[in-house]
């Protein structure tokens, strides 16, 4: 019984029955079919590109290097702007990335931006200086508002700066000469503000150089003098081509009360006048040689109505200077006595004589005061040059008959 049961169990095990070889072959075919199906499926998936082959089946290739961006590549630039044509480059520029907001608020924006495809860096442009005396960078376009007449764009810029420094440092003689040359030689090209600055500085310097008893060493237009027995200021003054009244004014003395041994200052004249009609301005100059003349100071004047003040050169007529003059109106014939407070020409008259082709033969013109103060700075006279009462008195004391010239310009 035992043997029979063991035989039955062996018959029920397929590995031990006669069909064992057939079972093995069947399983082998099944495994092979499954493998073919897997490979076929992988190949098909690889063809439509939905995914790559498994890592074990991938072929190794040499990795390609990442493209190197240009030197000025801007990561903030949109992808569509990575390549820019020449037309696009000229039409727009890529803004810089990561701008520091505080720095941008504290400093002006850059005057040039770098194109993202330009391999060469853009040259840095120096910002224009606000210093009007500083020369601009070569080739740089002047900023708006800086006109070509500004000294920073002219050859006399360093001369002007030097002259201003001399005046500020107390070198009055040297500074006056330097600034006078800039004003008188280049006045027409100077900007109004630059010319006015020069006039102000020179007028300040001349308070000491001309209108005080102080004698500054090296000043070619002044000298010291000691009063001698028998001297009169009216006899001393002609030798220096100045009125004796200027000696009184400068030294604060009375010509009738000078004393022997008294030291005084003498100004070497003559002084001259230039009137610019368009500016209603009179400039007083010192010196006979036009190349060496220096500026003294300016006054505002009134001129002839309907452009009736003649342009040209005049000389102060001998015997033509009158204090407290009488006057007759040439249009109406009305006479005004010397002491009449209604006398329209005021307290002083400086008669002029024509000295060139434009003025010779003209008579009746002069420089005088006025009781109509509102006419100063306007064209309201009959053709003469009008001045404020205090101004005409000073000019009267500076101009000398027969030597001082009066040039009237448009």
Q: What is the DSSP string of 339-387?
A: T-TT-TTTTEEEEEEE-STTTTT--S-EEE--S-GGGTTSEEESSSEE-
Query: Same structural domain for residues 258 and 155?
Result: no
pLDDT value for 176? 98
Check: CB of residue 376 under 8 Å from CB of residue 386.
Answer: yes
pLDDT value for 26? 60
pLDDT value for 6? 37
Check: CB of residue 105 under 8 Å from CB of residue 118.
Answer: no
C-beta neighbour count of 312 within 10 angstroms: 16
Distance CA 320, CA 399 (A): 11
122, part of any domain: no
Check: CB of residue 334 under 8 Å from CB of residue 325.
Answer: no
**Lowest mean pLDDT: which of 37-41, 114-118, 193-197, 264-268?**
114-118
Distance CA 346, CA 367 (A): 11
325, part of any domain: yes
Distance CA 125, CA 111 (A): 7
Question: In 210-327, which ranges are continuous DSSP H helix?
Answer: 233-236, 244-251
Query: Same structural domain for residues 333 and 385?
Result: yes
Task: Name the pairing type of β-strands 348-354 and 366-368.
Answer: antiparallel
- pLDDT-based confidence at residue 309 (cuts at 50, 70, 90): very high
118, part of any domain: no
Higher pLDDT, 80 or 295: 295
List, for residues 322-338, the tens digit of each pLDDT value. Answer: 999 999 999 999 999 99
List, for residues 343-389, the tens digit of each pLDDT value. Answer: 999 999 999 999 999 999 999 999 999 999 999 999 999 999 999 99
Percent of the chain exceeding pLDDT 70 equals 63
Query: Same structural domain for residues 281 and 399?
Result: yes
15, part of any domain: no
Nearest CA to 284 among 292, 293, 276, 273?
273
198, part of any domain: yes
Asked if the model's pLDDT at residue 98 lies above 50, the reply is: no
Q: Which two tokens stand for residue 300?
A: 């505002």
Strand extents, DSSP E, 152-196: none
DSSP string, 344-355: TTTTEEEEEEE-
Average pLDDT (259-288) is 98
Check: CB of residue 224 under 8 Å from CB of residue 266.
Answer: yes
pLDDT value for 109? 37
Q: Within 13 Å and on the Cβ side, how many CA atoms surround 86?
A: 0
Asked if the model's pLDDT at residue 106 lies above 70, the reply is: no
49, part of any domain: no
Question: In 216-284, which ranges are continuous DSSP H helix?
Answer: 233-236, 244-251
Peptide bond into 268 cis (omega under 30): no
Query: Same structural domain for residues 326 and 255?
Result: no
Asked if the model's pLDDT at residue 78 lies above 70, the reply is: no
List, for residues 187-237, the tens digit of each pLDDT value. Answer: 889 999 999 999 999 999 999 999 999 999 999 999 999 999 999 999 999
Asked if the model's pLDDT at residue 313 lies above 60, the reply is: yes
**Domains in the chain: how many in total?**
3
Residue 297: domain span: 271-409
Query: Same structural domain for residues 327 and 364?
Result: yes
Query: Same structural domain for residues 193 and 222?
Result: no
Average pLDDT (238-244) is 98
- The strand pairing partners of 223, in sequence order, are 266
Residue 371 backbone dihedrals phi, psi, to 5 degrees:
-100, -5
20, part of any domain: no
Distance CA 93, CA 55 (A): 46
- pLDDT-based confidence at residue 25 (cuts at 50, 70, 90): low
- pLDDT-based confidence at residue 113 (cuts at 50, 70, 90): very low
Average pLDDT (106-110) is 38
- pLDDT-based confidence at residue 31 (cuts at 50, 70, 90): low
Query: Same structural domain for residues 277 and 320?
Result: yes
Query: Same structural domain for residues 397 and 276?
Result: yes
pLDDT value for 20? 45
Q: Please provide the average confidence, as pLDDT, over all residues in the chain.
A: 76
Asked if the model's pLDDT at residue 152 lies above 90, the reply is: no
Distance CA 288, CA 210 (A): 16
Reduced to 3 states, what is the DSSP secondary structure of residue 371? coil
């Amino acid at each position: 019984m035992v043997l029979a049961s063991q035989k039955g169990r062996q018959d029920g095990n397929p590995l031990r029955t006669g069909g064992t070889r057939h079972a093995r072959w069947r399983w082998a075919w099944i495994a092979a079919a499954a493998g073919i199906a897997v490979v076929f499926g992988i190949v098909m998936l690889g063809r439509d590109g939905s995914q790559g082959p498994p890592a074990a089946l991938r072929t190794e290739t040499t990795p390609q290097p990442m493209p190197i961006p240009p030197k000025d590549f801007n990561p903030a630039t949109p992808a569509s702007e990575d390549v820019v044509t020449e037309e696009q480059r000229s039409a727009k520029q890529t803004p810089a990335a990561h701008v520091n907001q505080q720095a941008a608020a504290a400093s002006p924006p850059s005057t040039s931006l770098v194109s993202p495809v330009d391999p060469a860096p853009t040259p840095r442009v120096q910002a224009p200086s606000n210093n009007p005396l500083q020369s601009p960078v070569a080739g740089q376009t002047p900023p708006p508002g800086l006109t070509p007449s500004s000294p920073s764009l002219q050859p006399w810029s360093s001369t002007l700066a030097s002259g201003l420094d001399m005046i500020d440092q107390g070198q009055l003689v040297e500074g006056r000469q330097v600034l006078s040359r800039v004003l008188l030689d280049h006045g027409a090209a100077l900007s109004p503000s630059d010319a006015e600055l020069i006039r102000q500085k020179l007028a300040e310097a001349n308070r000491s150089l001309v209108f005080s008893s102080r004698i500054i060493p090296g000043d070619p237009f002044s000298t010291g003098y000691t009063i001698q027995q028998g001297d009169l200021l009216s006899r001393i003054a002609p030798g220096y081509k100045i009125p004796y009244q200027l000696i009184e004014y400068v030294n604060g003395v009375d010509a009738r009360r000078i004393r022997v041994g008294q030291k005084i200052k003498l100004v070497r004249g003559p002084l001259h006048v230039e009137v610019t009609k368009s500016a209603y301005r009179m400039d007083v100059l010192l010196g006979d040689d036009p190349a060496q003349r220096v500026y003294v100071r300016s006054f505002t004047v009134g001129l002839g109505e309907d452009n009736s003040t003649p342009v040209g050169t005049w000389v102060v007529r001998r015997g033509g200077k009158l204090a407290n003059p009488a006057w007759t109106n040439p249009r109406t014939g009305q006479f005004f006595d010397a002491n009449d407070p209604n006398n329209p020409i005021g307290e002083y008259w400086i008669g002029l004589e024509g000295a060139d082709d434009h003025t010779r033969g003209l008579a009746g013109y002069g420089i005088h005061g006025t009781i109509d103060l509102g006419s100063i700075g306007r064209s309201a006279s009959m053709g003469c040059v009008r001045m404020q009462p205090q101004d005409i008195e000073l000019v009267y004391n500076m101009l000398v008959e027969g030597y001082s010239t009066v040039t009237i310009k448009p």
